[in-house]
Structure 1
């Protein structure tokens, strides 16, 4: 069982682990996508602002020139040494030429580099339209690069003419990804740590849940073991008697016909006992199986009780036990299997008669309580102790084993009663002070067409 519990806990943990890890990766991806989108919006905003600021200031030709150096003093012109930027630079130029965050590159219409920020990575220009790409800078730092067309305003020669915007070249802006990479590492390790801690807790919970799941299986397994042992014990006794009688008859030298008849009577009695035991086991197996709804019909519990009271009256007279019916004026109809209901009432009456001494009384009561019918069997017998009341419906259990075996009981009567009650969606209880008398009460739901019940509309 420990191995099965470990396997079940491992399955629980594997399922929970897949769910947790998938959820962690999904959350990690959503957070990183959100940060990436925010970074793209920042780069697009800076690029648009810079483009609008540079458009009226750009020189007529896209080439390295003093005019271009004057527009963006923080850039390095191709073919000229980088000059230190003056102290007073426009705010956007300061932010763009900050090598720790951004770099700026200007290209002519053919895609040739004409100016760049100090320390900007050397990459091939991407000319066809606005594009995104990730490039590696000096020292292995990564940058998110955005490329757009750069225009400049052309002042018309004649007054009143509309100003024209002409393609000047390309503008490339790169944003450092060092902060995003650091955030990715922090989120990744945080996700892994949370998942590992959650898996540890899930492992303990899986072990506990597997224990809960194994409890009914373990109880059923132990009950099956006990049932097998009890069944083997019950079958062994009549078989041993049969074999003993046969061996004695084989070794008997006299041809006494009375001894032969006695031996045959013993064999027949033990065979009958075996037959009853096997029939009861088969009935229990059928009752434990799936319920067959096709065989259900409306059965009169009152009529069944009256019929069985007449059938068992002879046996009660032989045992010198008074048997009487109390109530039973109402016709109580139960939806069920008539043969099973007959067996239910018969077993309860025979059990009460069996454990009631001579001169005692067994009372069968019938009454209605709302939408349920109550069937009670009260006897004045030996009673049932509180400890036995917990096991009275177990298979092969006997409060008085000697009396039951002498009278041919199999120890399955009340087990069959409990199985039939469960099959008919009812309940059974027992009351006894443990010294004298006991009362078994069966509650069964009445059929919809039972007299006295409201007719559904």
Structure 2
């Protein structure tokens, strides 16, 4: 039980940590890329403005003074183009790899774009310094490859950091979960020990009460006529308390390895004997108890505990099936598992109660109010026994239709001695 809780806590912590890391990494990446691109845009814009400032009209000719070294342009992965007011290309500097193929938008406004080649493009209109007339355009372009490479390195760094953080956090989370669960486990173990001790100590006084009540009922001449019913009530209550005590003791011992004696068991014979045992009880209640048991079903387990588990299921099926109903017990091999199914046409269980029927001391009182139940520990005991055999138990049910319990156990070749 605590192993599952630890596992859930571990996964929950990792999930929360993963979401926090993912959110943080996304925020860092978003801010970093935004600042990186903004800085690149500002640098290109500054160069473009400085270059555009050198252009002027000289005797009706559009002239400029800025000239760039091809080597510097190649290193900076930039290129520049000059256009006349009609958008005709006058000159360009830089490698054709960094020349944009976008058509020039002949508008007297500053434009910043990203073309299909992944180039950043800034287009500046150039005005005459004297009369403020449009005399041409300057288009500056630069490659974003360096930015993309920086982003790729950032992604790798974030991924590696996240993996390292998750690994370290998983180790820390496992240690913290162990520390947090240790006092809870100790408290639970003490409670189980107390339950086992109390159940064991209650056996003697209950036995004494039961014996004395039986003696009094055996020799009724020694008691007043009106007291016989009281002694019968005492005997019945004592029997119920004794059964409850035995159930609590069994539940307290299910997690102890020493309480289970594993050996090779013929499940076919075990189920067949149980069917023969409970057939008279079913006939008395006018219930048809059917069986379809496959032969050659072997597993490793504790025979006494398995008999108790399947007895609980068969007894419940008979108890909660009305007169004239049916109970069917079937078994078969499914690969490396043995499947045992106990299906009845009884009162059924509401779907909202299905997730609680294996809880200790819980019963769906509304759906079973007309039937005399036991201590409410039978299904909890059955589940504990099945899980100690590395198996699973599931249930499907519909009110007034019936219930179906499926028990899956590993075969003898797959089960290990525990």
TM-score normalised over the length of structure 2: 0.47
For the pair shown, the structure with the greater C-alpha radius of gyration is 1
